Structure 1
């Protein structure tokens, strides 16, 4: 029998860098044992800085317990092995943050999709298919326990044109995952939400800002930190009424207001609802 961890346990996929890194660190600050996954083990092995080991160390430094696991999320067996390990080592899973995605360098390249690499389709494999499989495994741990949160990192690109059709389809897809999983989770104690993050200060966005300042400078001035979004996810999990949010697509900046979460110095990142669109409301019909 596995020993049940006394700490709450989270899994953040795609946490070598970017949103996943900061979300993992924030959950560490909330006292979680955080499994951080990705493919990068050594600095310099990827075009952008960051490794899963460095993220795990940040979780430790924040007061949590970081566990780095190298996973290719395009491999279904590797995903299954990851959840088996979490079950064996920790005996529980409280939060799954589905964040991993295959982001091609052509993503922010100007021009129509046919002038970009067809490999951008990878975001639909590692970003949709992998999220579904991870959620399937997580549900089989959480539902018997009667508690848990599955969160998808998403964006306004779900409803407006942002970076082209592959990116938009992936974001719309995870919003729909949250909506339909929310139906299945009714009465189980498990919740599923999709979280629209605003512009983020990450390694990738800093590089993009340097390359295309005219396009991104105004957005980045009010950018969120990934840690901000991690604290929002932790607050949703801790909310005794989180099931009322299940199935919804939420705007991080707006949810942060609900929980009194701010950036350093009390700064409140803006919601871009009026500028970029608002979450779709699922129709209440259920066809089983």
Structure 2
């Protein structure tokens, strides 16, 4: 039996496909009213139909998160329609995936700087900050709420490209600093790190491409479904003590162990903090076979792996 979010009002940005869709599905399945945003009406309608089939109440908002007026209208709509209530904001809208994969292997100085930055961090980092600000104005008034930035380990160590890492590090720092100013108002903000996620884009362009030389292909094969992050957020939203986690970076696999949920296939995605898995992916399969399952890299060591000092 999963968590119940009946009576909760949630907003998932960029919910037409990928992780955003998976999160919206899980929040809807838990009984919440879920506002879903995106640019493609067809995909939004498909997501809404599935949310409804699972017992949730979807509200489609077709919009562009790169347009500030659209974003302001979104929050005004929620405030008016829900009598000033917004319980959960998930900052997931992101426009940089195609840009990242089309420029794989290129150095930052080999790409157009303004185009790369704006594409990856405009709807991403900048958009998350604007949404967080507008959502906080609603939540602070009621002294209740949860804000989640969908981030990644790219905020800690180099991943994909320079602009991506800067954006994800900014998302993590945003969650930490906003949490400092929101905590006394009982509003929680965290940064969520999924592992490799088998999104539609990854499945089509990496996993099903036999000629793909993407070094992350092997990791994606043992990755999470698009709904695993949704299960993590649904449990966070239902946790009466979630404020104790405010300001932190939370990993989906760690939350699965804490709250006792599994992925949609009833399995557990690969945990990259397990020493056994790290050795196996480094090619030391023989040694990995001898390492016990409970040997895990402490989070303190993960922090020191950021090579920032």
TM band (smaller chain): 0.7 to 0.9
Q: Report the counterpart of residue 24 of structure 1 in structure 2.
A: 24
**CA RMSD in angstroms, aligned pairs only:** 2.0
Unaligned runs of 5+ in 1: 1-5, 43-50, 282-288
Shift of residue 272, structure 1, vs aligned partner: 2.1
The correspondence of residues 127-146 of structure 1 with structure 2, limited to 5 A, is 127-146=124-143
Alignment-derived partner of residue 98 in structure 2: 105
Q: 1:280, CA displacement in angstroms? A: 7.8
1:253 CA drift (Å): 0.7
Q: Between Structure 1 and Structure 2, how many residues are aligned?
A: 268
Distance in structure 2 (CA, Å) of the matches to 1:70 and 1:279 = 39
Q: Which runs of 5+ in 2 are unaligned?
A: 1-5, 279-296
Q: Determine if contact 2:228/2:264 at 8 Å carries over to the other structure.
A: no
- Note if contact 2:10-2:35 (Cα within 8 Å) is conserved in structure 1: yes
* Secondary structure in structure 2 of the residue aligned to 1:186: helix
- Counterpart Cα distance in 1 of 2:262 and 2:254: 11
Quote how far apart the aligned CAs of 1:216 are.
3.0
- TM-score scaled by length of structure 2: 0.81
The residue aligned with 1:52 is 44
Q: 1:136 to 1:235 in 2, by over 3 A?
A: same
Query: Aligned partners of 2:48, 2:22: CA distance in 1, in Å?
Result: 11
Take 1:111 and 1:153, find their aligned partners in 2: how far apart are those partners? 25
Q: Does the alignment pair 1:96 with 2:92? A: no
State the 1:265 CA deviation: 4.5
Aligned equivalents of 2:266 and 2:15: distance in 1?
Answer: 26
Contact residue 106 and residue 117 of structure 1 kept, 8 A: no
Are the counterparts in 2 of residues 104 and 120 from structure 1 also a CA contact under 8 Å? no
Q: 2:150 aligns with which of 153, 157, 171?
A: 153
Distance in 1 between the 2:304 and 2:23 partners? 25
Structure 2 CA distance for aligned equivalents of residues 265 and 77 of structure 1: 40
Segments ≥4 residues shifted beyond 6 Å: none
**CA distance in structure 2 between the aligned counterparts of 1:280 and 1:67, rounded to whole angstroms:** 42
1:25-50 CA-partner distances (Å, limit 9, x unpaired) = 111111011111011124xxxxxxxx
User: SS where residue 121 of structure 2 aligns?
Assistant: helix
Instruction: Assess if the C-alpha contact under 8 Å between 1:251 and 1:271 holds in 2.
Output: no
Residue 257 of structure 2 is aligned to residue 254 of structure 1:
no
Q: Is the 8 A contact 2:9 2:32 kept in 1?
A: yes
Once the two structures are superposed, the pairs formed by residues 109-258 of structure 1 within 5 Å of their partners are: 109-118=104-113, 119-121=115-117, 122-209=119-206, 210=209, 212=212, 215-258=215-258
Measure how far apart 1:224 and its partner are: 0.6
Q: Give the Å deviation of 1:77.
A: 1.6
For 1:159 and 1:137, how far apart are their aligned partners in 2?
27
The Cα of 1:112 is off from its aligned counterpart by 1.5
